[in-house]
Amino acid sequence: MASERTERPTATARMDAATEAFVTHRNLLFTLAYEILGSATDAEDVLQETWLLWVGVEHGTVLDRRAYLIRIATRQALKRLRTLDRRKETYVGPWLPEPLLTAPDVAEDVELADSVSMAMLLVLETLQPTERAVFVLREVFDLDYDEIAQAVGKSPAAVRQIAHRARAHVAARRPRGASSPAEHRAALQAFQRAVETGELQSLLDILAPDVVALSDGGGVKHALLRPIVGADNVARLLAVGWWKRDAERSVEPVQINGGPGLLVRVNGEIDGVLAVRVENGYVTGAYHVRNPEKLSRIERETAVSR
């Protein structure tokens, strides 16, 4: 009995230390998993798996708890990403990342806001799984190549090559013209006026000629089955039925993935969210998510950090 009384506090202390480290880095780990996966639901599952593995570690041997937790989360995210990619193969219509309602202060960290934006997450979708993980770990979380190598199971030299290839790939596809928060707000205000009033001229004024519109209903809600390209086509789409015009609609400006977005309600119920990609003051991408399974993070703010 005496040995049990002396061991029990020690075990409790170990659990308390493990919990403290995990809670300290939880938002970072979620953000890491979310950027690799583009799915908040799967990112939460990765956190659960990371915790279960973390509590089994001999914490006295861990010199850098942040790096160790990142390593676990990265490996779990990569496993889940391959499963997620198989699900996308049978997905109905375009697949868009799961949108997050984020706090206004996220936009103040320009690099973080850019890394979780819908536009960037769609760019990351074009990378191979290991490329995506390496890019996020290096460019967003600033890990050194040795740490990344341990996380992805590659040599440091291989990681350097992967990082170089991923940077070049992303650079060729990311928004080219820097846009201010004011330009993003102006774009969303034009969309809001078009939704609420049907007035399209202000929308046409800020749509790039080659703008691309994507909507994601997941086969559950009516949505586009393929991208719509061109300012006239996108404006016409908005005019004739991207939102139900025979119902009571409301449109609310919100922060989506670190930038301005619109929350659309139909008959008081959340119907979808809209985010845009703005380059040089013009909208080049419009992303409309209606799949109910992807809207669970819209009713409360999600904390992201790096």
pLDDT tens, residue order, the chain (306 aa): 444 444 444 767 777 888 999 999 999 999 999 999 999 999 999 999 999 999 988 887 888 999 999 999 999 999 999 889 888 999 999 999 999 999 988 988 988 999 999 999 999 999 999 999 999 999 999 999 999 999 999 999 999 999 999 999 999 988 776 677 788 888 888 888 877 777 778 888 889 999 999 999 999 998 888 999 999 999 888 766 655 555 677 889 999 999 889 998 888 899 999 998 988 888 899 999 999 999 999 989 999 998
**Element holding 24 (H helix, E strand):** helix 2-37
d(CA 284, CA 60): 51
d(CA 304, CA 116): 9
**What pLDDT does 27 receive?**
96
Q: Cα 128–133–135 angle (5° rounding)? A: 90
The CA–CA distances, whole Å, from 222 to 111, 176, 197, 230, 271 equal: 34, 32, 21, 21, 11
Residues for the chain: how many in total? 306
Closest CA to 40 of 304, 234, 305: 304
**Element holding 210 (H helix, E strand):** strand 207-216
pTM of the model: 0.91
Locate tokens 């939704």: which residue?
A: 195
What is the 3-class SS of 250-293, one letter each residue? EEEEEEECCEEEEEEEECCEEEEEEEEEEECCEEEEEEEECCHH
User: Which residues lie closer than 8 Å to 19 by C-beta, 6 or more apart?
Assistant: none
**What pLDDT does 5 receive?**
46
d(CA 277, CA 122): 11
The CA–CA distances, whole Å, from 113 to 3, 110, 220, 259, 286 equal: 52, 5, 29, 7, 17
Record the tokens describing residue 183, joined without a space: 């330009």
Closest CA to 133 of 42, 35, 28: 35
Terminal C-alpha separation, the chain:
45
**What pLDDT does 241 receive?**
60
Task: Produce one character per residue of 48-72: b if its CB has 16 or more CB atoms within 10 Å, e if not.
Answer: ebbbeebeebeeeebeebbbbbbbb
